[in-house]
Every structure is written in structure tokens, then in C-alpha cells.
Amino acid sequence: MKKYTYSAKQSDIKEKWIIVDAKDAVLGRLASNIAARLRGKHNPLFTPHVDTGDWVVVVNADKIVLTGGKWQKKNYYRHSGYIGGLKTITAQKLMEKRPEDLIRFAVKGMLPKNRLGRKLFKKLKVYAGDQHPHAAQQPEALAF
């Protein structure tokens, strides 16, 4: 009997659309569940080098929760590329400015740092309110 490791093919994969309500959800716990769903770890056909994940739509990103004193203590950094060009913003100010980015940054850090990770990240759609333009895809509600 020949034994081999199964590798998923594009024809075997059935992508679904999932909608997640981020209201009163803790950022890190929500992000790790979303990253696992994007990656396809829930799928029995999971193959590490193949995109076996689902599309994820996150609504109510402006109602996310951070525990402890992270609203003031957690910083997000970016650099312009010039000397002294480091920019810093706290989680609270980022929430006021662009609440969707809190979830995007958390999920992106949990995905692979290669071309597969970049492809998976494009399958994440985040919206601050409860409205989204993906009703035609008939997303299934998922509670974490």
C-alpha cells in the first residue's frame, strides 16, 4: 500500500464567505481566529503552501475591545524612509482615525510573510459600521 501526503489542488477547494461581527470582541483573540480562517486551518484539506481559506468580512470594527491599558500603551509604528522619519500612533488615536486598521494590522501580523500571506490578506474585508457591500456573496455568520 502506497502512503503519501495529500496536497490540495485548486479544483478541490470550495471557498466560502464568512461574516464576523467584531462588536465587544477582544482584538487579539478575534484576529487569531480570523487568521486561521483565512489560512484554511479549519479545513480538512489544509495544505500549508496552498490557499485553502475562506473570504472573511468583518463588521463593527469600531466596537472592538482592547484589554488592560492597551488603548494608551500600545503603539503602531511606520517609517518614512528618511532619517528621523519614525511616526508613532497609539491604539486609541488609530481607533479614532481608522478603526479598520486595528484589525488589519493584527491579522496581517499573524499571516505568513511571503506571497501566500499577501494573497490571503486580500481576502480580508473590514468595515467600521455594520453595513458591507458583500451581500451578493451570501456570507455565513460566524461567531468566535
- Is the confidence at residue 1, as pLDDT, over 70? no
Going from N- to C-terminal start, the domains of the chain cover 15-65+99-142
Listed as own residue / partner, the contacts of 38-43 with beta carbons closer than 8 Å and 24 or more positions apart are 38/107, 38/111, 38/120, 38/121, 38/123, 38/124, 39/111, 39/112, 39/120
pTM for the complete prediction?
0.93
**Exposure string for 46-78, b = 16+ CB within 10 A, e = fewer:** ebeebbbbbbbbbbbbbebebeeeeeeebeeee
Q: For the segment 57-84, what is each residue's pLDDT rounded down to a tens digit?
A: 999 999 999 999 999 999 999 999 999 9
Q: For the segment 17-43, what is each residue's pLDDT rounded down to a tens digit?
A: 999 999 999 999 999 999 999 999 999
Return the C-alpha cell found at 48. Answer: 500549508
So what's the architecture of 15-65+99-142 in CATH?
Alpha-Beta Complex (3.90)
